[in-house]
Amino acid sequence: MARDQFQSPDYLNLDELLSEEHLMVRDAVRNYVKQEISPIIEDYAQRAEFPQQIVKQMGELGVFGPTVPAEYGGGGLDYISYGLMMQELERGDSGVRSTASVQGSLVMFPIYEFGSEEQRRKYLPKLASGEWLGCFGLTEPNHGSNPAGMLTNIKDAGDHVILNGAKMWISNAPFAQVAVVWAKDEEGVVRGMILERGMEGFTTPTTHNKWSLRASATGELVFDNVKVPKENILPNVKGMRGPLSCLTKARFGIAWGTVGAAMDCYDTALRYSKERIQFGRPIGGFQLQQKKLAEMISEITKAQLLNWRVAVLMNEGKVTPAQVSMAKRNGCEVAHKVARDARQMLGGMGITGEYPVMRHMMNIESVITYEGTHDIHLLITGMDVTGFNAFN
Ligand SMILES: Cc1cc2nc3c(=O)[nH]c(=O)nc-3n(C[C@H](O)[C@H](O)[C@H](O)COP(=O)(O)OP(=O)(O)OC[C@H]3O[C@@H](n4cnc5c(N)ncnc54)[C@H](O)[C@@H]3O)c2cc1C
């Protein structure tokens, strides 16, 4: 891939809304992406390989669980910092941001929020440092958009429970040491539990042949009479509130991340439009190309503002899951459109790995699907404004 020349678009001087600390955090992750991710990521994506070395690097950088208190190894930062980190990571690659989102929002958050003090102390510092990688098992082969229908179940067996079932499409699964898994008990109540690699009957086969998120490892979680000690069950949550509150945190990160991917596509297309000559002049001088660029920067700017506002509400503890759904859906929509237009602006070069655009474009197909599909988030907004449930 050509040298990373990224220059961040900030059309409305939104940096003025950020504190010194926010800017420091943002720039540290931006520099990390330039130095460690951009030079390698295209190659890993082409080979459909997960760059395992980034787990330790990201732990050292502090992007795992940045909002978790420092005494558990987290960063103790606010949600604007968290959002900026996700924006910069996904500017590099959606798979890299996914690794961080899963670790922070879907594994560390539930252990911190719903775990016992022993569970917090045992798992959080190792997850924060990147010594351990985690994954989050909610989706099943026959229950994606409707996870409450899950079949994975536990049966009481004295000092432990017996876990049976299977999860599908699980990010980080093939390399994870730890899995936060959601299953129904004998009363049909959803419970969260922490599994460790090596437990008998627990396997994590890899999912192959993806055309999207190729630098992120995806797999299944298969449970065949796994004995899970009761001390591994998250004691402080019952029901779908557990997994759904994790998803709100992760979706917030996706809202910011997707805008990062859009920013990279826009920046690449803008530079290309000034350098590429056709009919004796830069293609950026043609109205059709300007229309694309003008629409891209308008949408990116609106999305940056929306994300910032949602982060402020999150810091104040006032955000609703439906507001986060709107931001997730909007970020995906913007990135989807910007990536496609940018790809066209690059002509034939747009389909190669010389530029990051096609990789982003393909990645967004996963991002627009996971953590609630585009349709599902639209239905959440629809239900929020009308009061009518159109899901079933
Ligand atoms: C690369 C990748 C990584 C992932 N990582 C994880 C992970 O780490 N952990 C995890 O638990 N899951 C993960 N997922 C799973 C992801 O969250 C699901 O794929 C997603 O929720 C959709 O479920 P599904 O694929 O079963 O699609 P389905 O639910 O079968 O949906 C199929 C289509 O039907 C539509 N649809 C469904 N219900 C309705 C309705 N009521 N009204 C209108 N339309 C509807 C959907 O919008 C979609 O277009 C990942 C997925 C991918 C692709």
Alpha helices in the chain (DSSP H): 20-32, 38-46, 53-61, 79-92, 94-101, 109-114, 117-129, 241-275, 287-315, 321-345, 357-367, 374-386
Average pLDDT over residues 53-82: 97
Please tell me the predicted confidence (pLDDT) of residue 3. 83
pLDDT attached to residue 151: 98
The size of the chain, in residues, is 392
User: Ligand 1, atom 24: nearest CA belongs to which residue?
Assistant: 144
The closest of 291, 266, 374 to 9, measured between CA atoms, is: 266
* Cα 60 to averaged position of ligand 1 atoms, centre (Å): 32
Inform me whether the pLDDT recorded for 332 exceeds 90: yes
pLDDT > 90 in the chain, percent: 99
What is the residue with the minimal CA distance to atom 22 of ligand 1?
Answer: 144
At residue 392 the predicted structure's pLDDT band, cuts being 50, 70 and 90, is confident
Cα-based angle 263, 15, 256 (whole degrees, multiple of 5): 45
pLDDT one-digit tens code per residue, 235-274: 999 999 999 999 999 999 999 999 999 999 999 999 999 9
Identify the pLDDT of residue 250: 96
The proportion of the chain whose per-residue pLDDT surpasses 70, expressed as a percent, equals: 99
Give dist(CA 89, CA 98) in Å, integer: 9
| Residue 129: per-residue pLDDT | 98
pLDDT, the chain, mean = 97
Quick one: pLDDT at residue 298?
98
Type of residue at 165: G
- pLDDT tens-digit map of 139-190: 999 999 999 999 999 999 999 999 999 999 999 999 999 999 999 999 999 9
Q: Which residues line ligand 1 (CB under 6 A)?
A: 102, 135-139, 144-145, 169-171, 213, 218, 366, 369-371, 373, 375-376, 379, 391
User: Does residue 1 carry a pLDDT above 70?
Assistant: no
β partners of residue 222: 166, 203
Q: What amino acid occupies position 310?
A: V
pLDDT at 132 > cutoff 80: yes
> What six digits make up the tokens of 264?
């990279």
- pLDDT tens digit sequence for 275-303: 999 999 999 999 999 999 999 999 999 99
By annotation, the residues acting in catalysis are: 371
| CA-proximal residue: ligand 1, atom 9 (nearest) | 170
DSSP structural state of residue 47:
T
Distance between Cα 181 and ligand 1 center (Å): 17
Gap from CA of 369 to ligand 1 centroid (Å)? 6
Residue type, 44: Y
Flag whether pLDDT at 104 surpasses 80: yes
Q: Where are the domains of the chain?
A: 14-129, 134-232, 241-386
- Return the ligand 1 atom nearest residue 213 CA: 1
**Is residue 108 a contact partner of residue 133, using CB atoms and an 8 Å limit?**
no
| SS3 label, residue 320 | coil
pLDDT (average), residues 203-215:
98
Q: Using the CB atoms, write b or e for 306-327: b if 16+ within 10 Å.
A: bbbebbeebeeeebeeebbbbb
Q: How would residue 76 be classed by pLDDT, with cut points 50, 70 and 90? A: very high
Q: Whose CA is nearest to atom 23 of ligand 1?
A: 144
Q: Which two tokens stand for residue 70?
A: 């420092």
Cα of 144 from ligand 1 centre, angstroms: 4
Pick the CATH number of 134-232 from 3.60.20.10, 3.40.462.10, 2.40.110.10, 3.40.50.10490: 2.40.110.10
pTM reported for the whole predicted model: 0.98
Closest ligand 1 atom number to CA of residue 135: 8
The answer to whether 14-129 and 241-386 have equal CATH topology is no
Query: Which of 90, 139, 146, 150 has most ligand 1 atoms within 8 Å of its beta carbon, as the pocket-test mutant?
Result: 139
Average confidence (pLDDT) over 85-113: 97
| Amino acid type, 340 | R
The complex scores an ipTM of 0.99
pLDDT of residue 367: 98
Atom of ligand 1 nearest to the CA of 138: 11
Range 197-202 average pLDDT: 98
Ligand 1 atom showing the smallest separation from residue 210 Cα: 1
241-386 CATH: 1.20.140.10
Nearest residue CA, atom 40 of ligand 1?
391
| Residue pair 182/153 in contact by the 8 Å Cβ criterion | no
- 3-state SS class at 106: helix
Residue 182 CA from chain centroid, whole number: 19
- What's the CA-to-centroid distance between 391 and ligand 1, angstroms? 14
Residue of 150, 373, 380, 388 to mutate, ligand 1, most atoms within 8 A of C-beta: 373
145 Cα to the center of ligand 1, angstroms = 5
Q: Whose CA is nearest to atom 37 of ligand 1?
A: 145
Task: State the pairing for strand pair 178-184/190-196.
Answer: antiparallel
The CATH T-level fold of domain 14-129 is: Butyryl-Coa Dehydrogenase, subunit A; domain 1 (1.10.540)
